[in-house]
Structure 1
């Protein structure tokens, strides 16, 4: 990379951090703004948390800034702690019935697979899981595989925009449009998407979309959003009934008790909690603008893809997808069969490398994330370490095995 911004981050210099995709890393000036909000809270908690005296207005500022970044209206965007929470709000609000079908894929995040199972057991709906075969080399292959799963009983389409285990960028746009044409709700898991690829929520047209700000957008941990199209906001019920709840009409244009849309107030105003991560989102957006982060991201993408190609050459294993269908800055790299926990621990213990290593549906994977604080020298170390741990020369001894 021609640009390295390590000095702006708080990461341990003794660790080669290649796992931005799990929890992100917050830049120093954004973290300082987060702490400024926390200090303000502690200095006068009543004033800070009183919606009449400032909280509602502060939340609105953050929501408006994020909405502009994501191509939508602030009254269709509510802050939540993480994407799993946002998706649970959407999924648990849908009036599914016995015999309804939930169409999804075999690449979804495990927490949301459990959520879908919970919904199915509670409502009597049936989960239909489409297998997206690997390697995935064309958008048409993905589109056709999911489209073949639609039936006259399909009521809900649940897809990841960027998958967690396989780091695939699913081309979901045509399927979202197809679902709308058929009267099927679309719920999109965008946990890895904001800040990773440009996102225009209104143009995409998904009925429900939840994403994290604390991953690739680099805001503090605990900042995420739920986006709901206006026509479905009246259907949304928060997971917690608290001060923001209203029994009145929640149709578009109706204000909630704290001045936002009724949908936003119900989701956001849920008793005492620290909103500082969310209030620091504008600072994260400003940091990205100040450092031309889409250019930084493009450099990171090149470095990630080049490193994945080196690992493929090292082990002679095919890629899991065409480059165009891989998440730009996050690549699931196939590695030889191994004990993934042992490999992960050896990478951290012997090389200081933090990277997820796991087995997924018969594939052994090291998932590389590349962000502005990473360097080519770190990629060299990763390739060297994987070669030493998983190469043909005494791999068992190198992993500490007998």
Structure 2
């Protein structure tokens, strides 16, 4: 399947998780949308775009288990979290509860929002390695106080590649009257998702990562009764009329290229045509092999409950400081190495274009470098 993608064949690419990669056929459809726009910009933007976006939203909504009118396109999950952070009605002394496993960019979002409003962003430490979903739930829930107004969680964490038990936490939060915001950047295309079943208030996801759509395609889902208070970061033509809709406010934001959004249905269809359930199963098995064969400490039990197509392992204390650079410069392996507190981790991503030979190249390189 490697030939279906545009990736440099000289690189062992084990970092799909950072930015994704788009199949050749999907990318070509993306370029076709751009060409259609340039052939007749007025026809495309002023007369056709609303309908085209509605069709794309309908396809995406069916894929993630939502009503098309309950989600809007955004450039990425971080943008969606930024939109969701402001309408919570936070006041001085309120708390937004989270964990110390969240993506750094959205940590900065919450620190900024809470700082402006006099609220607190509380990051509950999660002990690694984790041993059970119940342990994670109880650790996070122990951080709830009478001042907790919102719970913010990653559905699947970035650095640690850990699937969190967000369904149970959303259920508890809803019973307690606490708003829930979930960062699903790594979920669509990698972890099964049904937003109706999840019963979350706000959910931001990416289509350009594991769903393999072009870069700049994400979405924000908002529970229907909360949508009136949710506003985009840019106010534009979507506010025309006496009662502009949630979708209108977010989709009509001046002149921009929506080709990445319009290509999302193509990405969904492409994965279905290539039996992506079987691909995900094969990739999870590669991640399991990496967990069990690389000789490094895993962060989770050996179960798809905790990891899917990415796996993160703890590096030994004496691992070279320049390990990431040496893996790339000496072995042409693209893979992230990161810090978390006093620990250093390596995260391997396995997508449809990866195979056992990629894992073996990583194993041999680490054996030589560690």
State the secondary structure of the residue aligned to 1:146: helix
How do residues 3-402 of structure 1 correspond to structure 2 at under 5 angstroms? 5-50=1-46, 53-246=47-240, 248-249=242-243, 256=244, 262-312=245-295, 317-324=296-303, 325-337=305-317, 342-390=322-370
State the secondary structure of the residue aligned to 1:271: coil
The Cα shift of 1:213 comes to 0.1
Note the alpha carbon deviations across 1:36-94, whole angstroms, 9 max, x for none: 001101111111111xx110000001000000011110000100000000110010222
Partner of 1:395: none
Partner of 1:399: none
Residues 290 and 311 of structure 2 are in contact (CA less than 8 Å); yes or no, is this contact kept in structure 1?
no
Note the alpha carbon deviations across 1:130-177, whole angstroms, 9 max, x for none: 111111010110010011111111100000000011000001111101
In 2 relative to 1, CA 67–152 (structure 1 residues): closer, same or farther, beyond 3 Å? same
The Cα shift of 1:105 comes to 0.3
Residues 88 and 115 of structure 1 are in contact (CA less than 8 Å); yes or no, is this contact kept in structure 2?
yes
Question: C-alpha separation between the residues in 2 aligned to 1:247 and 1:60?
Answer: 19
Query: Which blocks of at least 5 consecutive residues in structure 2 are unaligned?
Result: none
TM-score by length of 1: 0.90
Residues 320 and 369 of structure 2 are in contact (CA less than 8 Å); yes or no, is this contact kept in structure 1?
no
The Cα shift of 1:294 comes to 1.1
Question: C-alpha separation between the residues in 2 aligned to 1:229 and 1:154?
Answer: 20
In 2 relative to 1, CA 246–94 (structure 1 residues): closer, same or farther, beyond 3 Å? farther
Question: C-alpha separation between the residues in 1 aligned to 2:20 and 2:307?
Answer: 15
How many equivalent residue pairs?
A: 369
RMSD: 1.2
Query: Which blocks of at least 5 consecutive residues in structure 1 are unaligned?
Result: 250-255, 257-261, 391-402
Residues 340 and 364 of structure 1 are in contact (CA less than 8 Å); yes or no, is this contact kept in structure 2?
no
The Cα shift of 1:246 comes to 4.7
The Cα shift of 1:318 comes to 2.8
Residues 341 and 358 of structure 1 are in contact (CA less than 8 Å); yes or no, is this contact kept in structure 2?
no
Question: C-alpha separation between the residues in 2 aligned to 1:331 and 1:238?
Answer: 34
TM-score by length of 2: 0.97
Residues 297 and 313 of structure 2 are in contact (CA less than 8 Å); yes or no, is this contact kept in structure 1?
no
Comparing 291-300 and 317-326, the one that deviates more:
317-326
The Cα shift of 1:340 comes to 6.5
Question: C-alpha separation between the residues in 1 aligned to 2:255 and 2:91?
Answer: 35
Question: C-alpha separation between the residues in 1 aligned to 2:23 and 2:309?
Answer: 17
State the secondary structure of the residue aligned to 1:86: helix
In 2 relative to 1, CA 341–193 (structure 1 residues): closer, same or farther, beyond 3 Å? farther
Residues 62 and 278 of structure 1 are in contact (CA less than 8 Å); yes or no, is this contact kept in structure 2?
yes
Q: 4+ residue stretches of structure 1 with deviation over 3 A?
A: 246-249, 338-341
Comparing 301-310 and 18-27, the one that deviates more:
301-310
Residues 101 and 126 of structure 1 are in contact (CA less than 8 Å); yes or no, is this contact kept in structure 2?
yes
The Cα shift of 1:338 comes to 5.1
Tell me which structure has the larger Cα radius of gyration. 1
Residues 338 and 364 of structure 1 are in contact (CA less than 8 Å); yes or no, is this contact kept in structure 2?
no
The Cα shift of 1:248 comes to 3.8
